[in-house]
Amino acid sequence: MGGSDGTIRLTPWRGSESTRVIEQHSDWVLAVAFSPNGEWVASASRDRSARVFRVANGEMISAFLEHGKPVQALVFDASGEKVFSGGKDNALHVWSVKEGKKLGSAAGFGGEIHALARVEGRVYSGSADGKVRSHSAENSPGTTVVLDCGSPVLALAHDARGRRLACGTQNGEVWVIELGKQGSPVRLHAGRN
């Protein structure tokens, strides 16, 4: 869990271990994500950085400091060796976990990136321009718009089998996309009354 005090709190589900507090950010922590193997946790912050820590002891593995504005979303690739991050700089960045080095980026978003999700070999972004985009999980992520929601996309989630992607928008709509299939997305909630 990230907090307004710039900390990350890792609370064990069971046992007598106490909550581990990681204090490395100088401003709000806006998002956190675990690596696929659960050994690392990444954090995105309003201090314009994204960082990766070892869960077992809180040791910082790397820091990505090339965002010009607050970082609002991040996700690991399937191998856990790369992190994709996005935020108020209207760009998606991919970087090496072990080196903290930028490997590539994609620009041209019509607004800040609010949400990221990984499904199989693709990364999906949701941004303030109302679009959900699909990106290659390679170092230079190619970009394709898969849905225009007409309202800022604030959240993304996928089902356990990676067949559907859901997005939540600022106007209260929830859309579901069938991945890898042609057809219309399903709007589950029509928005605010």
Specify the CATH number for the domain of residue 95: 2.130.10.10
What per-residue confidence (pLDDT) applies to 79?
92
Please give the model's pTM, rounded to 2 decimal places: 0.85
Nearest to 105 by CA among 79, 78, 129, 87: 87
What per-residue confidence (pLDDT) applies to 181?
76
* Residue 190 included in any domain: no
* Residue 80 included in any domain: yes
What per-residue confidence (pLDDT) applies to 120?
82
Determine the distance from the C-alpha atom of residue 171 to the mean position of all C-alpha atoms in its chain, rounded to a whole number: 21
Q: How far apart are CA 18 and CA 187, in angstroms?
A: 42
What per-residue confidence (pLDDT) applies to 117?
94
Separation of first and last alpha carbons in the chain: 32
Question: What is the CA angle 159-179-40, rounded to 5?
Answer: 50
* Residue 168 included in any domain: no
What per-residue confidence (pLDDT) applies to 56?
84
What per-residue confidence (pLDDT) applies to 21?
59
Task: Say how many domains are in the chain.
Answer: 1
Q: Is the separation of the CB atoms in 24 and 9 below 8 Å? A: no
Range of 70's domain?
7-128+135-148
* Residue 71 included in any domain: yes
* Residue 169 included in any domain: no
* Residue 98 included in any domain: yes
Q: What averages of pLDDT result for each successive group of 10 residues across the chain (193 residues)?
A: 58 62 66 90 86 86 87 92 93 90 87 92 92 81 84 93 92 89 72 55
* Residue 167 included in any domain: no
* Residue 177 included in any domain: no
Cα atoms in the Cβ-side hemisphere of radius 13 Å centred on 180:
8
